[in-house]
Copies of this chain bind each other. A is one copy, B any other.
Amino acid sequence: MISINIIAVGNLKEKFWREASEEYQKRLSKFCKLKIIELPEQNKYEDTEKILQTEGQTILKAVKECGGKTYLLAIDGKEYSSENLSKNIMQDSMTNSTINFVIGGSYGTSKEVQEGIKDKISFGRATYPHNLARIILLEQVYRSFMLAGGGKYHK
């Protein structure tokens, strides 16, 4: 069973986001070993660059520890249809035992993270808050497995 790690800066403060996340985590448990690795937001700093640098270091450290194939969620990344994302994840899982998805914090990600993680996924040109981005990602990963398994799954 493939391991999927979601490496995310910040936590889900609102109960409804946590419950949405739990619902998809439950559904995904049939298909993969899912782990959500929450990294601390560096909101003690005033300076955005300092925040991005510090968060970036913890992101790259977590990615290294997880190993495997890594995708960064980025607005200027590659846009996949759900069908293509599904095919990609299934192909990755042939050659990797672990797939990681990285979601930055409120200020985005540092240059080092953007340069260090070559594969970037975009869920469109709109900017989403990090909590909603996490739910979108979970839903799309779940949809990927459902599509790969030929399961019935509505829009």
State the A residues within 8 Å of B (CB): 14-17, 19-20, 23, 79-82, 85, 104-108, 122-130, 132-133, 135-136, 139-140, 143, 154-155
Nearest CB of B to A142, in Å? 10
Copies of this chain per assembly: 2
**Chain A binding surface, main DSSP class:** mixed
Complex contact A129–B107 (CB within 8 A): no
Complex contact B15–A126 (CB within 8 A): no
Could you say which of B81, B108, B126 contacts A81, with CB atoms under 8 Å apart?
A: B126
Complex contact B127–A82 (CB within 8 A): yes
Give Cα distance in the complex from A101 to B108, angstroms: 29
Could you say which of B14, B106, B122, B139 contacts A129, with CB atoms under 8 Å apart?
A: B139
Complex contact B132–A136 (CB within 8 A): yes
Interchain residue pairs A-B with the least CB separation, the first 7: A124-B124, A106-B154, A16-B19, A16-B16, A82-B127, A79-B125, A16-B20
Complex contact A126–B123 (CB within 8 A): yes
Complex contact A80–B126 (CB within 8 A): yes
